[in-house]
Structure formats: structure tokens, C-alpha cells
Structure 1
Amino acid sequence: MRPTSSLTWLSFITGATVMASEMAASRLMAPYFGSSTPVWAALISLVLGGLALGAHLGGRVADRSGRLTLLLSALCLSALALAMLPFLARVLLPGATAAVLGGRPIEGLGRVALLMVVAMPPLLVLGAVGPYVLRVGLAGVESAGAHAGRLSSASTVGSITGTLLAAFVVLPLLGTARTMALFAAVLGLTASWRLGWRWRLPAVGVPMVALALGAHALPRAPKAVDVAESPYAFIQVVKDEHGTRSLVFDEGYAVQSVHRPGLPVRGEVFGHYLLVPAMAQAAPRAPRVLVLGLGAGTSARGLRETYPGVEVVGVELDAEVVRLGRAHFDLPSEVEVHVGDARAFLASDTRQYDVILVDAFRFPYVPFHLTTREFAAAVAARLNPGGVACFNVGRYAQERAVVEAVGATLATVFPEVRAADARNHSNTLLFAGAPRARRAARGTHGVAPRIAAPAGGARGRRAEAGARRRATDGRQGPGGVAHRRHPPAGPLEWGEAPMKRLPSMPEFLAPLPLFAVALMAVNDRWLKPTFHNALTGKLSDVAICFFLPLYVSALLALVTRWPRARRVAVGAGFTACLYTALKVSQPAADLFCELLRPLGLPLGIRSFRAWADPTDLVTLPLVWAAVRYSRAAAREPSSLPAAPSTGVST
């Protein structure tokens, strides 16, 4: 047996490098593709695939060569590639995103494929380390098990160490590019230790240069005035031709904060926020507002402009966002800022608030611990009697699954929950009243106010009208700068019925389609073998013509953003064409049955049989019945009460 201490150390370092690089690569992809679960799945699949292929090839090469210097040389080259990967990503990936969004998917996929070509060789070499060092270190089979176990455990411990170091120490301190460069330098130093200076100089020198230049690997939009990388996201401050500054995270799907110097706070979502204190007040006074998800302070600045003397407390998870808010978004120094998690702050804070704004949903990324019933109860506990909580929930066009799920959760705590859609088609504001017991104590008998009439007679009414005017007009902005007056806000009525709407189900899970499926199954399994006649022969055709259009429509809902009417129309057309082909052509029917065979095996159905019979086309009009049924279901009244439009425009 050869000395194995160096091989064990090499296994440990390669395991740490693999996991640290994977953690950093997820951050490397975020500015271009986000950090959603599909992105993580694609990244993990790529890494595991490269490691698996590398292990296969490494074992074969080890049997043929058996020279450790060959593996060490390949690891030195891999260290160079890993160090340069963030810089190549900055060159290739921005164009890939723009190409896909611009309708040029081939160009976008080509850029991504080119980056994968660069990333794959290091993965192959790192995957080859396990079988290679196992083969090199063996002198006989009598102790092969102990040797394999030692190398495997060293690699696993290295993977754990690399994961923890990258996630909790190196990434927060150094950032993505420098993290990859640091671990590449360690890998290069380890691999080149026995190869001499000819290999050691480039294997360590190039990663160290990349470590020094890591800040230049950060992607930067053409109009960005500042970029930063925090432990939570990649952040950019973008300035347009009108001087408006926007704060965006990662791939820039949503704008988090907005500031146009010299003009008061306005805009779609922020205009709604400015109305909430007027909804909560029973008497004209300076409100106390808690903002969970402060961002760069747009809502806090607008509240201070609109309500003189307002006390604003803001909670923001990311300290880097607060820094950018002070530097570029005029975050008022009077705002009390706490850096930390919103739920943890509510657990430790003992103050009561007139208004709580929850703007921590960075759609499409939802912090799940802020969508629970316990969090809603914590928000309700911090509201003054008659107070109002406003939750900003992201959506995409008419996709409301997240909105309805959050609203249904709030309805378990608050007796009144109302929804108002922003005109930008990507936000819905959920307004929730204080718990019923508190309002009952004030004599309201559990009925939420319709923006409670202010006490104090005409003076109080004038004060509330002034608050509404400042919130929707904006003419009271800093420096007296005037801008376009918004349409007057309609009466923001606070409903009495709680929100109890459940998330919508796919069309084919409604009772009638399910009955059609059950009829088809019972008919094919029992009725046809027992009563083989014209009636049983047509029952399955009836069920297929009614069910299949709705099934196709539901599948299209998973992959498209089409309205329901278009999806059902496509499903009806597909069903009519397929059904007609099956009934007039026996080869088409046989081919269709062969395609269905893999789907039937898990259910114990070994084969399907279909016969071309043009007389079965008499059931084809039932496709139109499915379309009519879908239209009728879409016209059913919604149980989610929507608040009247506030008139706040962008």
C-alpha cells in the first residue's frame, strides 16, 4: 500500500472545492436567471452529471495510466478554469438573458452552452478524483475496503466543510467571484505541491489575481450607478433617462424601491401604502407605522411627506440595502431602522402600531415564514384597536395562486380581508383589519370601519381630506414641486365579510369532468366486458370528448399564461382533430394505443385497443359542450371581495 495521507488530503480538498463552487455558482446564476427552485435543480443536475461522468472516465483512465501526476496536472488546469468562470459568466450570460427575452432563444441557449463547455472540464476532473486516487493508492485487495472508506469519508467531510465555510464565512465576507477564486487557489496549491514551480505558479497565481479582481466580475447593467453583493442577493441601483433611480435584486424581475429626486413619492404600490394610515385612524393624529421590508425607504419617505409627525419604524433584512437607501434613495434619518428578520422583530418588539405594512415578498420569491397563520397573528397582536395591516403580495398577470393562499391564511386571523389589484398586473394589496375582539371593545360590534369618520367635526374631516389629498395628489411634496394630479380616490370601503376563497383548482378536477373520467374507467373495466353493446361502446367516447378538452386546457395552464378561453379553445381543437383521426384511420388508432402503453403499465393495463369507427363521430359535438361548461364555470361569481379602485396611478 502506498502512503495515503496525501491522497486523503487531496480527497478532502476536492470535496470541499466541489461543494463550495456549487454554492458560489448558485449566486453566480442569480443575477441572470434568479435563484428559484428550477434554477437550483438545473444547477445541481449539471454538477451531479459532470461528477458522474468524470467518475466513470476517471476510473478508466486510472486503470490505463495509474500515474498520479496526470491527475494533479488536470486539477491545476481545473483550478484555472474555476477562477476564470465568474469573469466569463459576466461576458456571456447578460447577452443570454437579453436574447431569450428578445425572442432569440437559440442565441441565448448558445451562450449558456458555451459557458457550460467551460464549466464541464473542471467538473469531470473533480469527479474523477475519487476512483483515480482509489486505484493509485491500492497495493493489494486485502485492505481495499479500508482504503476506499478512508478516501470516501475524507471527501464527504471535505464537502461538509466546503459547504459550511462557503455559506457562513467566505461568501458573506468575500462574495461570489472571490469565493470561487479562493477555493480554486487552495485546489491549485494542493495539486501542484508535488509538480514543481512550473505548475505551481499558474495554478496558484491566476486564482490569486482573480481573487484581487473579484469586484470586477460582478455584472453591471448599462444604466447602473451602483452595484453590491450582500449575503442575500445581488443588488443594483439603476438610473433611467428621467433621473429615476430603481433598486433591483438578482435578475431584476421586480423593482424594490424607487426615487426621483425633487418629486414626492408616487406610483402604483406606494400610493396604496400612503392611504393606509387614513383608513386606520379614528381621529386626526400622527400615526405610528411599522414597515416590514423597508427596502431603500420609498414607503417610509412617502409616509413622512404625507403625514407630518408620523413615526416610522422600518425593518430590513439586508444591511447593504439600507446602505444603498441612505446613499441613493434619500432614506430619512428620522426613520428608525432595524436590520434583521421581520418575524424575529415582531417577537421582540412590544410597541403597538396604527399601521403595519408588510412588503417583504420579493416575488417570485416568497419568504414562507412570513405567510403563516402564526406570523399573521403576530402582526395582529402589534396593531392598535382599529389598526390596519397591508400585505403586498406579488403575482404574474392573472396568476393568483400565491395571492389567494396568503389571503386565505390572513382570513383565519383577521375577520375582514380585502384585496386591491395594482394596475401594474404584478401586485395585489391585501388589507386586513384588527381582530374582532378589539373592535368590539370599541363598540363597533365586530364590523370594520369604512375609513372611520374622523372625530373633531369639520376640522377633523379637513385633516383626513388633507391626508387623502397628499396621498393621491402628491402636490405637497418636498419643495412644493407639483406634478400631475391623480384621479380622486374612491371610497375605500372596508368590507364586513371575511375572505374565504380557496385557491382555484384545474378545470379537469371539477365534479363533472371527474365524473366523466370515472364513467370512462368503469365502462372500460366492467361494463364493456359484461354488456358489449352499442351503449357501452359509446359511453367512453362521450367521456373522452367532454374530458379531454378540459385536460389539455389544464396542462396548458401549467406552461402558458393564456386566458382560460384560449386554453379551452386549443384543447377543443386538439380533441376534435385527434378524435377524428382515430375514428377514421385504424393505423392512427394503433399508433395512439402504442403511445398510451407506458402510461397504463403503472395501473396494471398492459395494452390499449381502439378501433376506427366513423359512426363514433356522433359524439364529437360534446367537445362544444366542454367549451360551454368551461365558459360557464369561468363566469361563476368570485368569493374574493375586491376593494374598489383607489385611483392611484403610476
Structure 2
Amino acid sequence: MPAPDPHAETAAKPLPPVFLLVVMQAAVAAASLVVEIVAGRMLAPYLGMSLYTWTAVIAVVLAGFSAGHWVGGLIAERPAPRALILTGWSMVGAALTTAGAVFVLRWGAALLLPRLTDPLAAIALLTALVFFLPSFFAGIPAPVLAKVAVAARPAQAGRALGAIFAAGAIGAIAGTLLAGFLFISWLGSVGTLATVTAVYGLLALAAFGAARRARRALSAITAVAAGLLLPLGLAGLGLAQPDPCTRESDYFCIRVLDVSAEVGEPARLMVLDHLGHGISVAQAPTRMVTPHGTMLDGLARARMAERPFSAFFIGGGSYSVPRAWHAAGLGAAVTVAEIDPAVTATAISDFWFDPASARILHDDARRALGNDATTYDVVIGDAFTDIAVPAHLVTREFFDLIRARLNPGGVYLMNVIDFADRLDALAAIVRTLRAVFPSVEVWAEITTPDPDARLVFIVLAAETPSAFSQITGAPPDLLPAGRLSAGAVDALVARRDPPVLTDDYAPIDRLLGRLD
């Protein structure tokens, strides 16, 4: 007597329509890509937003998809009803791990970041810890849905398979666009994850419903609905958690921190993603507090010899320096190119900045300078954010544009953040600026740093060198800063032998990323 065919039941029972399977695949792909886009935003307050962050996110998500596809292929070999049931449970797993991502991230960051000094290791491990499992579970349905679609239309197997693949691609496109242009802006990261959790829950119910169609005796929809209570409840709990961002914009997680105790009077610090971008003191607008602010303020004023001047700022941040110049009555005509309107709004609402005191352009600084031939006495570049640096703002071509926008006798100032035991980024910036400007100086706080400390420098480029070698900030801080000797800067460039950064080749992330 021949052995029973394990697939006979599948053949005997009606399979779900291919249209339903196509819609399910599109929804899974869309939801999984939404999570991928949100991953970069969620990691930013802890790791910054850099080439390395996005590299880790893409690699981890693809690894999760690959592992999920493999397991999904094994599941697809089972009879259709059983395969669809397991697919439904995989969607419950996707819902659970997506809803729990916010908690795993906060727990993992608190556990790993204090113990990992290498930023690349921190980025890779934390990303894998939080986002591998959601991607793994989201990768399972594709092979199952493809197999069932082919079985449902054996005479049109190629068309059925093509429809599943096309649905995955279209869903991925839709998820990417929805996350970037709609969900994060309107719902925030946690709200977006809660929405994806609900979508995965509906997909789980759809998978069990499809299995019920293939096998009339199945009655597990109630069970899976009960199973979804945990991830949906977890998503709701995530929405109730304190938001690490004071304001989550299209570009940054913006945080406003009260630093009055440290400063000694009412003051606030603006943090964009994970790095401080300026302190403003309520009743003392000319007080800079930080060496970074002190040098940008003091060097510009010293080079202009306190005469009225025009200035262009690349990045607004807390708008502390424009606010100080307005309060000091310098008569400076200030233009600020700040790409994020939410940063400007926060500076106005929380950092006592008067928007009438400056011309504000909510645009990329390079595009703003390129589209307007206005020239300035001072250009200030404040776009360095640790290992996340806009590469197009540190190239020779951009510095050529800067020089073209400077009046005779004008000066370009830019902050550079680098590690004391490397200084590769600083050396590359200096060499690149030297290809454009006759005089390039490096300024730093007068202090003795730790050997592996993260240091803030101000690089000054102009037609002529400064007539002074030291400045002191305003009271009560009186922060001193000095110019590195030309010999020391020459020796640094010669020792590190960095590349000249160009639009074609600007590996600034590698130069900052401690890759040996």
C-alpha cells in the first residue's frame, strides 16, 4: 500500500488567493523597511548618525533577512497549512521584537557603551542586539508565500512567483518613503514602531486566516490573537516611556538640557543626536561657557578688530554666537544656514535667540552658498559632530567655494573634533585647506588633555596669518585658547600624511573612526 502523500491535504483544500499572498508580502516588506529606516534614527542619540551607523544598520538588517529567508525556506517545505501557521507565528515574533526594540536599545546602550571604547564595535554590537531579530522574523514569510503562491497557481507558476518578488520590492519602496517622509515626522520613532507592531499583528492574523482557508479544521486564530496581546501591550508601554528627545525632527533627536548647576546661573545645552552643540546663558548672552564657542567667537572678533562685519554660519545649533554678537552690539550682519527648521525653532523657544537678529536659511550650507553670490567677512563652519561629519562640507571643492565667498581680508573658521592619539582628521583638514588658502592655523584650548581624549580644535584659514597667538574668553569663564606652532602643525601633517579631501574622495568617517 503506498505511503500517504503529506501534500495531499494541501491539494484537496483550497489555497489562499495569490492576491492575498501578494498583499501580505508587500506589507511585510514595507514594515521591515520602515524598521530599517527608524533604526538609524533610534541609534543616533547613542551612537550619532554616520556612515558607520548606516553601514551597521544595513548589514544587520540584511543578515537578519538572510537568516529569516533560510528558515522560511525550511518552513516552506511543509504542507501549506502548517507553513502558513508557522509564518503567522513568525509575524508574532516580528511584532514582539519590534515592540521591544526601544527597551532593548536603552538596556543595551546602558550595558555596552560604558564598556566599549571602540566606537565601531559599539555601533556594530548595539545595532545587532536591537535590530537583528526583527529583521530575522520579517525575512521568514517570503519563501513561504512564494511557495504557496506557486502551489495555488501551478499553471502560472512564473507569474505567481514574479508577483511575489515584485510585491516585495514595491513594499520595500513604499516602506522607505513612508518612514522617511511621513511616519517619523508625524509619529516619532517609538510611534512608528508601534504602528509597525500593529501591522505585523494584522499580518499574523492574515497568515492564520490563510491557513484556515487551506485547512478548514484549523481554529487557531483566537490563539494568535491572544499571542498578539503581549507585543501590542509592549508597544503601548513603549509609547508611555519618556522620550529621550525634547523634539524629534526630520534630521535630529534634539535635546534641551538644563545645565544651570554646572554654569552657575540659568543656562541650557542643546544636544543634537548625541553631541552637545552649544550652551546659552539666559542673562549673559555673551558668555560662551565652552572652549568651542569661545574660540569661534573670540577669533572672529579679533580678526575683524571689533569693526562691523558680515558673517555666514554653516549650521545654527543653539545660535549662541549670533546671539552673543547681537547682544554685544557689534553690528554684525549675520546669515545662518541651518538645514533643520526644528533646530532653529528650538533655539528660539529654549535658547533665547531672537530670529530678527539674523537672516536664516533653512537649507544645506553648500547649496546656500553656491546659489547666492553674496560675500562675507567671516564664514564659520560648525558642522563637525564627532564621527558624523557631512563629507561634502570638508572637501577642497567646498573650500574653493568658501574662499570665493570671502571678502578681501576675510577669514574662515571651522571646528574639528578629533582624538588626541590620532589627529588624522585634523591633519587631512589642514592639508586640504592649505591647497586653497595661503595661511592655515590650528587653535585649541590651553590645557593638558588625556592621551586618548576627544579634542575640539578651531582651524582658521585666511590670506594672512593672525597677528596674535592667544585669546581669552569673556568673564567669568576666561577660557584661554592658543595657536599651535606652525612647526607642530607641519610635523603633524608630515607624520600622518593624510589625503587631500575631495568630492570624489573624502574618507572623513574612516579618519575619525579609529580604523587601524
TM-score exceeds 0.5: yes
CA distance 1:218–1:203, change in 2 (3 Å): farther
Tell me what 2:506 maps to: none
Deviations for 1:284-328, whole angstroms, at most 9, x for unmatched residues? Answer: 532222211111111222333445322222221222221221222
Listed as ranges, the matches of 1:329-340 within 5 Å are: 329-333=351-355, 334-340=357-363
Tell me what 1:182 maps to: 195
Listed as ranges, the matches of 1:133-144 within 5 Å are: 133-139=145-151, 143-144=156-157
Deviations for 1:51-80, whole angstroms, at most 9, x for unmatched residues? Answer: 222222222223234216404532541353
**Cα distance in 2 for residues equivalent to 1:368 and 1:217:** 35
How far apart are 1:147 and its partner, in Å? 2.7
Tell me what 2:348 maps to: 326
- For residue 293 of structure 1, the aligned residue among 315, 319, 336 is 315
- For residue 294 of structure 2, the aligned residue among 271, 289, 294 is 271
- For residue 136 of structure 2, the aligned residue among 121, 124, 128 is 124
Tell me what 2:107 maps to: 92
When normalised by structure 1's length, the TM-score is: 0.62
Is 1:261 the counterpart of 2:275 in the alignment?
Answer: no
How far apart are 1:38 and its partner, in Å? 3.7
Tell me what 2:247 maps to: 228
When normalised by structure 2's length, the TM-score is: 0.76
How far apart are 1:486 and its partner, in Å? 5.2
Moved more, 387-396 or 200-209: 200-209
The SS at the match of 1:175 is helix
The SS at the match of 2:408 is strand
Moved more, 2-11 or 357-366: 2-11
Q: Which has the higher contact order (CA 8 A, sep 6+)?
A: 2
Moved more, 171-180 or 369-378: 171-180
The SS at the match of 1:428 is strand
Amino acid paired to 1:62? A
How far apart are 1:200 and its partner, in Å? 8.5
The SS at the match of 1:386 is strand
Amino acid paired to 2:353? L
CA distance 1:288–1:335, change in 2 (3 Å): same
**Cα distance in 1 for residues equivalent to 2:301 and 2:117:** 43
How far apart are 1:449 and its partner, in Å? 5.8
**Cα distance in 1 for residues equivalent to 2:238 and 2:92:** 19
Structure 1: tracts of 5 or more residues without a match: 221-225, 435-447, 453-467, 476-482, 507-556, 561-650
Cα contact 2:412–2:460 (8 A) shared by 1: yes
How far apart are 1:350 and its partner, in Å? 3.4
Tell me what 1:80 maps to: 95
Deviations for 1:3-25, whole angstroms, at most 9, x for unmatched residues? Answer: 31111111111111221111112
**Cα distance in 1 for residues equivalent to 2:243 and 2:494:** 38
**Cα distance in 1 for residues equivalent to 2:132 and 2:381:** 43
CA distance 1:274–1:99, change in 2 (3 Å): closer
**Cα distance in 2 for residues equivalent to 1:381 and 1:304:** 26
Amino acid paired to 2:472? T
Listed as ranges, the matches of 1:41-56 within 5 Å are: 41-56=55-70
**Cα distance in 1 for residues equivalent to 2:494 and 2:159:** 55
Tell me what 2:472 maps to: 472
Deviations for 1:443-469, whole angstroms, at most 9, x for unmatched residues? Answer: xxxxx26449xxxxxxxxxxxxxxx99
Q: Which protein is bigger by CA-based radius of gyration?
A: 1
How far apart are 1:172 and its partner, in Å? 2.7
**Cα distance in 2 for residues equivalent to 1:472 and 1:277:** 13
- For residue 376 of structure 1, the aligned residue among 381, 389, 399 is 399
**Cα distance in 2 for residues equivalent to 1:129 and 1:388:** 59
Identical residues among aligned pairs (%):
26
**Cα distance in 2 for residues equivalent to 1:351 and 1:235:** 31
Tell me what 1:358 maps to: 381
How far apart are 1:217 and its partner, in Å? 4.8
**Cα distance in 1 for residues equivalent to 2:113 and 2:514:** 24
How far apart are 1:165 and its partner, in Å? 2.2
How far apart are 1:99 and its partner, in Å? 4.2
How far apart are 1:399 and its partner, in Å? 1.9
Aligned residues: 457
Instruction: Kindly report the root-mean-square deviation, in angstroms, between the aligned alpha carbons of the 2 structures.
Output: 3.9
How far apart are 1:277 and its partner, in Å? 3.3
**Cα distance in 2 for residues equivalent to 1:128 and 1:484:** 59
**Cα distance in 1 for residues equivalent to 2:39 and 2:406:** 42
Is 1:433 the counterpart of 2:468 in the alignment?
Answer: no
Cα contact 1:290–1:314 (8 A) shared by 2: yes
How far apart are 1:114 and its partner, in Å? 11
Structure 2: tracts of 5 or more residues without a match: 1-10, 210-220, 498-512
The SS at the match of 1:58 is helix
The SS at the match of 2:100 is helix
Looking at secondary structure, tell me which structure has more strand per residue: 2
Listed as ranges, the matches of 1:202-601 within 5 Å are: 216-217=240-241, 219-220=243-244, 227-240=246-259, 241-242=261-262, 243-250=266-273, 252=274, 254-263=275-284, 264-281=287-304, 285-306=307-328, 308-333=330-355, 334-422=357-445, 423=447, 425-434=454-463, 448=464, 450-451=466-467, 472-475=472-475, 483=476, 485=478, 502=493, 504-505=495-496
Cα contact 2:294–2:473 (8 A) shared by 1: no
How far apart are 1:352 and its partner, in Å? 2.4
Tell me what 2:29 maps to: 15
